[in-house]
């Protein structure tokens, strides 16, 4: 190669080499490790804040809004509640405790079937009531007549049950309404009141849930 060609040959500057070496390197992705632990799930105050169960979580806030379904007898310890399932909705967390509201109650389908009697008319309706503290609650009462009541009589009976439940909800908070179902006070009152139209052999609130 001639001296002239050498002069034309490209020469890499030291600055360009320095820029290449100093190019920013991709940052390694750092994963934050969250230590998991057990949290106690607590029932509402009207259920004496009993422990419903436990949940294993990294951050208890992740379970806020979730609903846990349990057999009610496992919470209250009362055999009469074995046929009922309860849904507890998580509202907030305090330390290692997760607090809930009782979102709803329902009687298991097999228990409802045992209430049905052949050739006996029944009440099986669904509607929404408003509690004194402003909650909308879906109620599904279920009753079986003692005898063969006519269609007109059963229609009056359904209207009376709806009226009684609506009036009861208006004068009770959501928790008090649920308490009256749990201790069977509401069911007994409706059984007694229904006698003036037609006696019911059985009456239950097969479903009650906050909307």
Q: What is the pLDDT of residues 94-148, one digit of tens each?
A: 999 999 999 999 999 999 988 887 778 999 999 999 999 999 999 999 999 998 8
In a domain, 204, yes or no: yes
Query: 83, 105, 127: which is the final residue of a domain?
Result: 105
Query: 69, 90, 105: which is the final residue of a domain?
Result: 105
Q: Are residues 118 and 206 part of one domain?
A: yes
As a whole-number percent, the residues of the chain with pLDDT over 70 amount to 84
Q: Are residues 147 and 79 part of one domain?
A: no
Please give the pLDDT value at position 30.
47
Domain that holds residue 176: 109-210
Q: Are residues 137 and 57 part of one domain?
A: no
Q: Are residues 185 and 161 part of one domain?
A: yes
Between the alpha carbon of residue 81 and those of residues 77, 84, 181, 183, the distances in Å are: 8, 5, 11, 10
Kind plus residue range of the DSSP H or E element containing 40: strand 37-42
Query: 74, 105, 136: which is the final residue of a domain?
Result: 105
Dmax over Cα atoms in the chain, in whole Å?
Answer: 124
Strand 51-57 and strand 67-71: the pairing is unpaired
In a domain, 2, yes or no: no
pLDDT range class, residue 20, cuts 50, 70, 90: low
Asked whether residue 206 carries a pLDDT value surpassing 60, the answer given is yes
Q: Are residues 178 and 87 part of one domain?
A: no
In a domain, 122, yes or no: yes
Q: Are residues 175 and 134 part of one domain?
A: yes
CATH code where residue 189 lies: 3.30.479.30
Q: Are residues 116 and 99 part of one domain?
A: no
How far apart are alpha carbons 147 and 208 in whole angstroms?
Answer: 27
Q: What is the pLDDT of residues 154-198, one digit of tens each?
A: 999 999 999 999 999 999 999 999 999 999 999 999 999 999 999
What's the predicted TM-score (pTM) here? 0.79
> Which residues, in sequence order, are CB contacts of 186 under 8 Å at separation 6+?
165, 168, 177, 180, 205
Q: What is the pLDDT of residues 3-18, one digit of tens each?
A: 555 555 554 544 445 5
Angle ∠(117,120,122) on CA atoms, nearest 5: 95
> Which residues, in sequence order, are CB contacts of 122 under 8 Å at separation 6+?
116, 142, 143, 144, 145
Please give the pLDDT value at position 13.
47
Q: Are residues 64 and 113 part of one domain?
A: no
Specify whether the CB–CB gap between 41 and 88 falls below 8 A: yes
Q: Are residues 149 and 124 part of one domain?
A: yes
Please give the pLDDT value at position 140.
98
Q: What is the pLDDT of residues 31-74, one digit of tens each?
A: 566 688 999 999 999 999 999 999 998 887 789 999 999 999 99
Q: Are residues 118 and 99 part of one domain?
A: no
Specify whether the CB–CB gap between 145 and 122 falls below 8 A: yes
> Which residues, in sequence order, are CB contacts of 4 under 8 Å at separation 6+?
none
Asked whether residue 86 carries a pLDDT value surpassing 80, the answer given is yes
Specify whether the CB–CB gap between 93 and 66 falls below 8 A: no
Please give the pLDDT value at position 40.
96
In a domain, 23, yes or no: no
Q: Are residues 98 and 41 part of one domain?
A: yes
In a domain, 4, yes or no: no
Q: How many domains does the chain have?
A: 2
Q: Are residues 203 and 189 part of one domain?
A: yes
């Amino acid at each position: 190669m001639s001296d002239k060609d050498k002069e034309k040959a490209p020469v890499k500057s030291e600055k360009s080499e320095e820029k290449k070496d100093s190019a920013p390197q991709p940052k390694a992705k750092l994963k934050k490790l969250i230590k998991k632990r057990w949290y106690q799930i607590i029932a509402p105050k009207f259920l004496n804040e009993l422990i419903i169960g436990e949940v294993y979580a990294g951050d208890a806030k992740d379970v806020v809004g979730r609903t846990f379904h349990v057999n009610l007898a496992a919470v209250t310890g009362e055999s009469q509640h074995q046929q009922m399932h309860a849904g507890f909705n998580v509202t907030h967390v305090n330390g290692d405790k997760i607090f809930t509201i009782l979102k709803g109650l329902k009687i298991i389908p097999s228990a409802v079937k045992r209430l049905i009697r052949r050739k006996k008319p029944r009440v099986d309706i669904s509607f929404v009531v408003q509690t004194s503290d402003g909650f909308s609650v879906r109620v599904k009462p279920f009753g079986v007549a003692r005898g063969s009541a006519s269609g007109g009589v059963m229609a009056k009976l359904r209207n009376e049950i709806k009226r009684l439940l609506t009036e009861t909800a208006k004068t009770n908070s959501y928790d008090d309404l649920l308490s009256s179902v749990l201790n069977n006070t509401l069911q007994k009152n409706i059984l007694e009141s229904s006698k003036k139209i037609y006696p019911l052999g059985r009456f239950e609130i097969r479903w009650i849930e906050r909307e």
